[in-house]
Structure 1
Amino acid sequence: MGRILAILLLSLCAAQSASAGAWLREKGTGFLSLTGTIYNPSDTYDFKSAVYGEWGLTPNLTVGLDLNERPGLTGHALVFARIPVAELGQNGRFAFEFGGGGHHFQDRWHPMYKVGLSYGQSLETPWGYGWLAIDLAFEHRLRTNDPFYKLDATVGLSADRLINPMLQIETSYFGDSEVHWSITPSILIRGKNNTRWQFGIERRSAYPKGYGVKIALWREF
């Protein structure tokens, strides 16, 4: 049962919603994303939902909420804070993130905590401006004996046009298991009122293996 739980938690860890990485929100501004991913590993469809929000509490403190749920199986609820570590100008920036909350397997909830270090770099390419985010995280979920290690990377364009591309690569590791990963190429479509729509195809190694269709709504306010 412990091995099954670890694999299911790894599958949940390997598909988080897009975050701001090392960037902090300006004071009094926020970001919200609502994400749904549909998988069809066999004859039964599987669904995962995520809610991710950030708010600039002070110029040097961003707080947020990360909810992730695979109905009836696994999920987590995490409150976090992000603070700056180093501002390197054109060479990017680093930020530290820490948070706590709970995770569940079926209907049993247990505490969890997370610490992470993020690097962010603005990009200037022949196709317009963009960004690179690299996130390294350590998570401990009580009821599991070993911590989770995660290394994620996101690169995308943010040019002033209707459609921009984005690529997410997410990895996670637990104990002596193999590294689990997901790769999600997406397009971001600009909408009204500071919104963007994400449409992507997710390829993953953990349960449910195979492909999924990801749809997300991003809103800045």
Structure 2
Amino acid sequence: MRSLVLTSLLLADSALAGPWPREMKGIFLALSTERDAEGSSYAALYGEYGLRPSLTLGMELGRSGADETSAMFWLQRALDRGKGPDRWALSFGAGVVERGGADIPVGQVAVSWGRGLETVPLLDRIAGGGWLSAEIRAKAVAKLKDEAEIERLAADGVGILAYITPETSIKAEATLGWHATSSWTFINQLRLEDREDWGFSASLASSAVRDILGPAKLELGLITPLSGEGELALKIGCWLEL
């Protein structure tokens, strides 16, 4: 199987906004790296900033083992008024992908929903609490590659194709987060994606997050393919919330 798709922007973890906006002037930063069973890798710097009570500015800078660099910026607006159990948000993003000396524009749109576990029947019995969320995201890129380039990359190893941004993709994610203790959080996320270049795939991303010092947290995760293209991958990250 080809490598797990790691270049999808907006990697969803518990500290990422989801449908919940950042507090005004609140800052979140995450530095992470992922490496799969074939030795391919992806590194990213992710950030969020609370512009207004209902408006969050986000960004991600990424570099893949396929010599592709990406930058994405987006605005996320809360669609609810902060009342009731449900949270809804809509975001629009734009950025650029650089490969082979060419800068190619990219855009995305996403809708997300979430609830605290205390408002979800049956799950409200889980000690410590947590959250349940879902998101669907569509991304489109100007034409990046031709058939000759795909054949050349495949000759180097089909896994590397996973690190080439597809021209179009639709991704859905469902996340269950659990605050097991005051210093440990566990996250399970089902990821479904349909790419124009290789079709549908599904994976399960599981992470453990530990408070280490002040506002800093350490994340260790495993990404397991369930269907379609994919390889087992390890993720390590450090979060900072201010």
What does residue 185 of structure 1 align with?
206
**Relative to structure 2, which stretch is displaced further, 179-188 or 102-111?**
102-111
Cα distance change, pair 26–67 in 1 and its aligned pair in 2 (3 A) = same
Which residues in structure 2 correspond to 1:63-78 (within 5 Å)? 63-78=57-72
What does residue 167 of structure 1 align with?
188
Aligned Cα root-mean-square deviation (Å): 2.6
Given the two structures, how large is their TM-score scaled by the length of structure 2?
Answer: 0.77
Q: Distance in 2 between the 1:93 and 1:220 partners? A: 21
Q: Distance in 2 between the 1:177 and 1:72 partners? A: 17
Q: Distance in 1 between the 2:42 and 2:182 partners? A: 30
What does residue 238 of structure 2 align with?
217
CA contact (8 A) 2:9 2:60 kept: no
What does residue 61 of structure 1 align with?
55
CA contact (8 A) 1:150 1:173 kept: yes
Q: Secondary structure at the residue paired with 1:210?
A: coil
State the identity %: 24
More strand by proportion, 1 or 2?
Answer: 1
Q: Deviations over 1:148-183 (max 9, x none)?
A: 111112211135423221112222212374212331
Q: Deviations over 1:38-80 (max 9, x none)?
A: 2232xxx222111110000111211011122213433421011
What does residue 4 of structure 1 align with?
none
What does residue 114 of structure 1 align with?
108
Q: Distance in 1 between the 2:43 and 2:9 partners? A: 13
**Relative to structure 2, which stretch is displaced further, 87-96 or 53-62?**
87-96
CA drift of 1:109 comes to 2.4
2:7 aligns with one of 7, 12, 29: 12
Q: Point out where structure 2 has 5 or more consecutive residues left out of the alignment.
A: 119-124, 145-165
User: Does 1:149 pair with 2:143?
Assistant: no
What does residue 138 of structure 2 align with?
138
Q: Deviations over 1:6-37 (max 9, x none)?
A: x9995522882522210101111111111111
Structure label with greater radius of gyration: 2
Q: Point out where structure 1 has 5 or more consecutive residues left out of the alignment.
A: 1-6
Q: Distance in 2 between the 1:171 and 1:159 partners? A: 26
Given the two structures, how large is their TM-score scaled by the length of structure 1?
Answer: 0.84
CA drift of 1:89 comes to 3.8
Which residues in structure 2 correspond to 1:42-53 (within 5 Å)? 45-53=39-47
**Relative to structure 2, which stretch is displaced further, 158-167 or 24-33?**
158-167
CA drift of 1:201 comes to 1.1
Q: Secondary structure at the residue paired with 2:7?
A: helix
Cα distance change, pair 210–101 in 1 and its aligned pair in 2 (3 A) = same
